[in-house]
Amino acid sequence: MTAAEIARQLGLRRVGTAWRGSCPVCGGRSRFQIREGRSGPLVWCWAGCKPADLLGELRRRGLWPQPERRELTPAERRAAAEQRRRDERDLEAARNFGAAADLLVDELLETLPVADLSRGPLTAMKAAMRTETGLLVEYRDWREREPELTAALVAAGRNRGARLEMMLRHYLLGGAKNAA
Ligand SMILES: [Zn+2]
């Protein structure tokens, strides 16, 4: 469907090269805009609705194509299953790693000077570890670069409790400093 067709269905009015009108998500008057882009219609809400929500609503109304659901080839299915098995295998270790690494990062952020350049990457790592995918990526990256420290963090995470803080202070912080 072209931008012009979607605009007609939504009762938008033409403004220059675009069409404008009520937002189908938030209802904001004249907040919604659509125009023809190089690879298809571009939608926007000036009230700040997320593009994914706008497309979702347009899909629900049958004004936007559904995401393509292609049948996977047997090889792709095997690769996906293998990836899932790898993820499941790593996830428990990654969770333990994440629990300990999170404390370690907090500890480092507390002690590092405000201007220290490693604060950015540490904060980014903490944020990345909030999702399962990000956690797996961080864990595998660390396992690759710092196998011993990573194993120690996994062990520390497994022993969550009273000993954890002591281990972090005495052992891991020293390890992290030596590794840096
Ligand atoms: Zn909106």
pTM, two decimals, is 0.50
Q: How many domains does the chain have?
A: 2
Domain identity same for 45 and 82: no
Domain identity same for 128 and 78: yes
Domain identity same for 78 and 55: no
**Ligand 1 center to 19 CA (angstroms):** 14
Structural domain harbouring 93: 74-179
**Ligand 1 center to 56 CA (angstroms):** 12
**Ligand 1 center to 44 CA (angstroms):** 8
Burial readout 107-127 (b: 16 or more C-beta within 10 A, e: otherwise): bbeeeeeeeeeeeeebeebbe
Domain identity same for 46 and 81: no
Predicted local confidence at residue 67, as pLDDT? 76
**Ligand 1 center to 4 CA (angstroms):** 19
Q: Which two tokens stand for residue 180?
A: 């840096």
Q: Which of 1, 17, 114, 83 is nearest to 9 (CA)?
A: 1
32-37 vs 18-21, strand pairing mode: antiparallel
Domain identity same for 55 and 78: no
- 18-65, pLDDT tens digit by residue? 999 999 999 999 899 999 988 889 999 999 998 899 999 999 999 998
Q: Is 65 contained in some domain?
A: no
Domain identity same for 89 and 137: yes
Q: Is 122 contained in some domain?
A: yes
Contact 21, 32 (CB under 8 A): yes
Domain identity same for 79 and 166: yes
Q: Is 67 contained in some domain?
A: no
Q: Which of 60, 85, 105 is the last residue of a domain?
A: 60
Quick one: pLDDT band at residue 180, thresholds 50, 70, 90? Answer: very low
Query: In the predicted model, is pLDDT for residue 131 greater than 50?
Result: yes
Domain identity same for 109 and 144: yes
- 59-96, pLDDT tens digit by residue? 999 999 887 777 889 999 999 999 999 999 999 999 99
